[in-house]
Amino acid sequence: MAEDITERFMRYCAIPSQSNPASSDKVPSTSSQHIMAQVLEEDLLALGALDVCRDDHAYVIAHWPSSLGLEQAPCLGLIAHLDTAWQAKGDPVHPQLRLYEGKPLVLCKQEGKKIQLTSEFNPELEAFVGQEIVTSDGTSLLGGDDKAGVAEIFGYLERLKEHPDIPHPPLAVAFVPDEEIGHGAALLDLDSFGAAYGYTLDAGPLGECAYETFNAATATVTATGCSVHPGTAKGRLVNALEVLMAFHRLLPAPERPEYTEGREGFFLLVSCQGNVEQAQATYGVRDHDPAKFEKRKHQMEAAAAYIDELFGEGTLKLAFEDVYRNMGEEIEKTPELVDVMLQAYEDCGVTPHVIAMRGGTDGSQLTFRGLPCPNISSGYYNAHGPLEFVPVHDLCAMVDVLEALGRRFAQQAL
């Protein structure tokens, strides 16, 4: 199994499928995701999955029949996203299968600098001495987020095909686009999907799992200036870029992502562009606690009002768009999903590590759309950058976890 799932995972990683926030008005945001979706559709058909469907938005859905006697059991959904992160180079991707021997693993050299994996940067590597890991060649991200999850779902289906007597309920699988830009499962047809509940495979290292996410919003700040020749600018020039800088300085510096962890929320300056006359910045606003989340919005509103008063009415405008909510407030209504998730890990000798996810998942949207959907690990490390890696051991272990998950739900249905 290790050879098969590794080959599949590396093949998927080699297919570029980054999403792009600059074209988020269409779904998918990039044409490459259509190519990835077509590959997954063909692989599902080759595997013998039922009701395989790929729609115009690059959503891929399929079903797998239950083991004997469980035909009427509630359908279990498994979801992974087919896009990869846009924050780093992701095309082309050259996956590498490397043996980690305990010393720095050089992926490449760029301008005389070694791009390398080290146990100092990733102490977790010490657990994989003598084992194979999959990396990029150091020039791009790998895409283990979330193609590891995609490959693991396929690994589970392959196992069920070879061993149909393994107890499991009916299964629905979905591979969705544009998760990395906050769209994700928004257009997933839940009626066609047909699952009663599900799990996303989009957490990190083996054992990591989450049923809480951030509450998230995007804030857009627009500054309008007054351009005057700098030689005669005194008392008249209003520099829109300076206005944005003044606004940014009013937000608490310790509450940026690089200074926060755990359940600490943050303000993230995502982008800033413009000129003297017009400038715009976008921020990510995040917090697990809904009251603190709203307080963060109020902080930004107060800062904007102050800047507008300081520079003149109409100088600064602030708008919010909510992206996703903390699914924990809904998942707590179905605690059995968390119990089964933890038990499945323990069945496989894996210690579960529950986190409050510092991000969002497709499960955030799905949960609030009526499909409760905690998040389980897919085994990637250092996501969204060229140092990303996935241990082969963890790819295989997650197939075992999925089997244990299916067995647990089968037991409940009997």
Point out the residues that are catalytic: 83, 179
User: Considering only CA atoms, which of 84, 294, 289 is closest in space to residue 181?
Assistant: 84
- 308 appears as a binding residue in the annotation: no
- 180 appears as a binding residue in the annotation: yes
- 336 appears as a binding residue in the annotation: no
- What the block records as the tokens of 124 is 């977790």
Residues 6+ apart with CB under 8 A from 222: 278, 279, 280, 316, 317, 318, 319
- 298 appears as a binding residue in the annotation: no
Query: 292 exposed, middle or buried (CB, 10 Å; 0-12, 13-18, 19+)?
Result: middle
Distances (CA, A) of 355 to 216, 250, 332: 17, 31, 15
- 288 appears as a binding residue in the annotation: no
Distances (CA, A) of 349 to 66, 316, 345: 25, 55, 7
CA distance 85 to 254: 26
User: Considering only CA atoms, which of 12, 30, 369 is closest in space to residue 189?
Assistant: 369
CA distance 137 to 105: 11
Q: What are phi and psi of 181, to 5 degrees?
A: -115, 20
Binding residues, as ranges, are 81, 145, 180, 202, 384
Binding residues for Zn(2+), as ranges, are 81, 145, 180, 202, 384
